[in-house]
Amino acid sequence: MTIEVTREVLDALGKASLRAYPREACGILLGEGARIMRFVEAANVHQAPETHFEVDPQTLIDAHRSARKGDLRVLGYFHSHPKGPAKPSKTDQRSAAGDGKIWAIAGEGEEGGRVTFWRDQAGGFEPLSHAPIDG
């Protein structure tokens, strides 16, 4: 499956990764269907933010409330691996809900690292291809 992601979102994911370094950045992916059109950066409230992430609960609640009012839906989540590859880690696999949400992961490297996309399925993460689009 191929998802569409605005260039603005891709740029924002890289910038969030750089700002958070050496901690993991995180946030919420918003859109419709298979199109990610907005990124909401969130505070990483995990007690060990250098190696784990936890999206600020209030930011997530606010995103769901906005969706109920007709705004963009919560399609998934983003986080970075400041010292690792752009793929689900063992920690990610253990904490995943298997709920079908999209996970975007930025790996280490220049410009915030490479970003990959994954579908959180009941049996594990499925890689997704993505196509950049104009917002």
Confidence of residue 131 (pLDDT cuts 50, 70, 90): very high
Give me the residue label for tokens 């930025």. 106
The alpha carbon of residue 49 and the mean position of all alpha carbons in its chain are separated, in whole angstroms, by 15
Write down the residue that tokens 């600020």 correspond to: 56
User: Residue 104: phi, psi to the nearest 5?
Assistant: -105, 135
Render pLDDT for 85-105 as a digit per residue (tens, 0 to 9). 999 999 999 999 999 999 999
* Residue range 10-64, pLDDT digits in tens: 999 999 999 999 999 999 999 999 999 999 999 999 999 999 999 999 999 999 9
Which domains does the chain show, CATH number per domain?
2-133 (3.40.140.10)
Contact (CB, 8 A) for 82 and 24: yes
pLDDT band at 109 (very low <50, low <70, confident <90, very high): low
